[in-house]
Amino acid sequence: MDRRPVLVGPISLVIALLGLALTCRPFPASRLSFAPGGLPRVSSLVPFMVRLLPFTPRWPNRQHPPHNTPSPHPSRPQPGVFTPTAIAAQTPPKSAPKKPKSFLEKTLIAREPPISHRPPYARLPRRSPTRGLAITSSVVDTLAGLVAINSVNASLPGGPGEAELAHHVADLARAAGADVELYDVEPGRPNLLAWIRRGNRPTLMFECHLDTVGLDPMPDALNPRIANGRLYGRGSADPKGCMAAMLHVLHAAAADPNFPVDLCLAGAVGEEIVMIGSRVMAERRPPVNAAVVGEPTELQIITSQKGAVRWRVRTHGVAAHSAMPEQGHNAIQDMATTLTALARGIEPHLAARPHPVLGNATWNVGTIRGGAGVNVVPDLCEIEIDRRLVPGDSSAEVLEHVDAALDDLRAGDPQLRVDRDPPFVDIPPLETPHNAAVVRAAQQAVAAAGLSPDPLGVAYATDAAMLSGIGGIPSVVLGPGDIAQAHTNDEWIEIEQLEQAVGVYLGVCKAFGEIAA
C-alpha cells in the first residue's frame, strides 16, 4: 500500500491555486498523482512547489517515483527528480536565452534600478560601511553610503563621532589607489589624509569635515531617500555631498597618470563645534599649495568669511538665605555691572574695520547661568560671549580690550570678583586674495559650468579659516548644496547639482595645474 503522506484536501487546493497564481505558468493536471479519495499526493506537488522558489535547489541523490504520465519532453529528466545528472541536464547552455523571470523573482529579488529609472520617490538601500560601495559607482550611490553612516559630532548628545565614516572614506580611497593616513585628534576621532602623488606638479587639497549635527528632529535621518530630484538625509548637504563629489575626483586622479595636480583628500573631525580637526590639521602644515573646502555654497566661490572667538566670564559672590541678603553677596547683580563694563570695552571697536562684503564685527551674550534657587543669594554667575571677527581683527586684540575693561571694573569696586576663561573657540577670519591661483582656478571652473565666477563672502565660519589663518594655505570654500538646508529636519541636496560638482571640482584641478605650474 502506498503510505506516502497525503495532504488534507483544502490545503492541497489552496497550495495549488497559490502556486498557479504566483508563478503565472501552467502546470498540467496530468502530472499530478492522486491517493485514494481523490487527493493529490505530496510527491506530485513537490515539483509544482519548487516553481515558487527564486533558485533551483540542488538536492543530490534524491529521487522520487516516476509520475503517472511520462514527460512531454523525453530528452529532459522528469520533473521532481533532483539527481546530479538531472540537474546538469536541466542547466541550459551559456548561449541559451534567459528564461522569463517569475512574478516572485521580479518582486522579491529585483535589483535596484539605475537613478534615471527610479520613481520620483525611492528609498536607497542601506549599505555596509566597508562593503558594497566603490568610488566607481555613481556619485549618488556614493553619497547614499556616506549618509547612511552616523557621524554626529561626539560633543553632541548621543553623537558617536566620526571614526566609522573616516574609516569608510579611507577604505574607498585605498581602493582607488591612494596612500591613506589616519591620526587621532582626540581618542577615537581621526583626521584623514588620502594622497595621490606623482611629483613635478602642484598639490591641491580637497578638504571636507566628517561630522554632522544631531539627527533630531529629522525623521529617518540615516536612511537616504530620493524624491523629486533630491537626496534626503542627515549630512546630505552639510557636508557629505561635497565629500562624495571629492571622492570621485580622487578616483579620477588615481586613474589618470597625467592628472594635472597631485591631490590630497582631507577629512577633519569636529567642525560643527570648535573646528578642532582642521586646527590640528593646519598646525601639522600639510605640504599642499592650496585648498578647496567643501561646504554647501550652491557651487558659488567663497573667499571671505567672519571668524569667531568665544569665552566665558564669571562673577563670584557669597551664598546666603534670601531672607537675610545682607549676609551674602549677589553674583548675578555683579554680572549686570560686568556686562555694562564689557559693552564699554567691546562696542567701540566693532566698527573699526568695516568689511566691504561682511560688514562690521559683532558681539553677543548667548548664555547666562546663576543661582541655586529663588530663596538663595547666588554665589556664582557665568555668561558665554560670542565675538565675530572680520578680516583684520585678531582674537588676541579683542581679548586685550576685554581684559582692560575688566581691570577698570575691579579697580572701581574692590569687592567685585570677576574672571575670564581662555577662549573655548578661536577661529580666525578668512580673506583670500582674488588673484590667488586657487581663486582664479575656481573662477575658471565655475564659469565653464555656466555659473557665476564672482567671489562672495559669508558670515559663518568654515574649516577654510583654520587652513588659511593657521596653516597659511590659500583656500576657497566651494561645494554643492544650499546652506539653508543644513541642520534642518528635512535636509536635502539637489542631485543635478551634486553631479555637476564633480565636473566643477575636476575643472578646478585642471585650471590650478595650469595656473600654479
Are 238 and 486 contacting, i.e. CB atoms less than 8 angstroms apart?
yes
- Mean per-residue pLDDT over the chain, rounded: 83
**pLDDT for residue 137:** 74
Does position 196 have pLDDT exceeding 50, yes or no? Answer: yes
- How many beta carbons lie within 10 A of that of residue 191, not counting itself? 24
Q: How far is CA 307 from CA 41, 279, 436, 454, in A?
A: 81, 13, 20, 21
Planar angle of CA 132, 137, 143, nearest 5 degrees:
80
Question: Residue 499: is it exposed, middle or buried by C-beta count within 10 angstroms (0-12/13-18/19+)?
Answer: middle
3-class SS letters over 426-481: EECCEECCCCCHHHHHHHHHHHHCCCCCCCEEECCCCCHHHHHHCCCCCEEECCCC
Query: Of the given ranges (9-13, 314-318, 366-370, 392-396), which has the lowest mean pLDDT?
Result: 9-13
Does position 73 have pLDDT exceeding 60, yes or no? Answer: no
Mean of the pLDDT values across residues 55-77?
A: 39
Does position 101 have pLDDT exceeding 60, yes or no? Answer: no
Q: Which tens digits make up the pLDDT trace of 499-516? A: 999 999 999 999 999 999
pTM over 0.95: no
Mean of the pLDDT values across residues 137-153?
A: 95
Chain CA centroid to CA 423, Å: 29
Chain CA centroid to CA 45, Å: 52
Residue 358 belongs to what H/E stretch? none
**pLDDT for residue 155:** 94
Q: How far is CA 74 from CA 192, 298, 327, in A?
A: 65, 68, 109
Please choose, from the candidates 278, 415, 215, the residue with its C-alpha nearest in 3D space to the C-alpha of residue 333.
415
Mean of the pLDDT values across residues 266-291?
A: 97
Query: Of the given ranges (112-126, 202-216, 299-313), which has the lowest mean pLDDT?
Result: 112-126
Q: Which tens digits make up the pLDDT trace of 458-483? A: 999 999 999 999 999 999 999 999 99
Mean of the pLDDT values across residues 18-46?
A: 52
Does position 246 have pLDDT exceeding 50, yes or no? Answer: yes
Q: Which tens digits make up the pLDDT trace of 387-436? A: 999 999 999 999 999 999 999 999 999 999 999 999 999 999 999 999 99
- How many beta carbons lie within 10 A of that of residue 80, not counting itself? 21
Residue 308: partners with Cβ closer than 8 Å, 6 or more residues away: 386, 387, 388, 389, 425, 426, 427, 461
**pLDDT for residue 66:** 41
**pLDDT for residue 92:** 42
pLDDT band for position 105 (cuts 50, 70, 90): very low
**pLDDT for residue 517:** 86
Are 214 and 272 contacting, i.e. CB atoms less than 8 angstroms apart?
no
Does position 75 have pLDDT exceeding 90, yes or no? Answer: no
Q: Which of the residue ranges 1-15, 94-108, 117-131, 154-168 has the most confident prediction, judged by mean pLDDT? A: 154-168
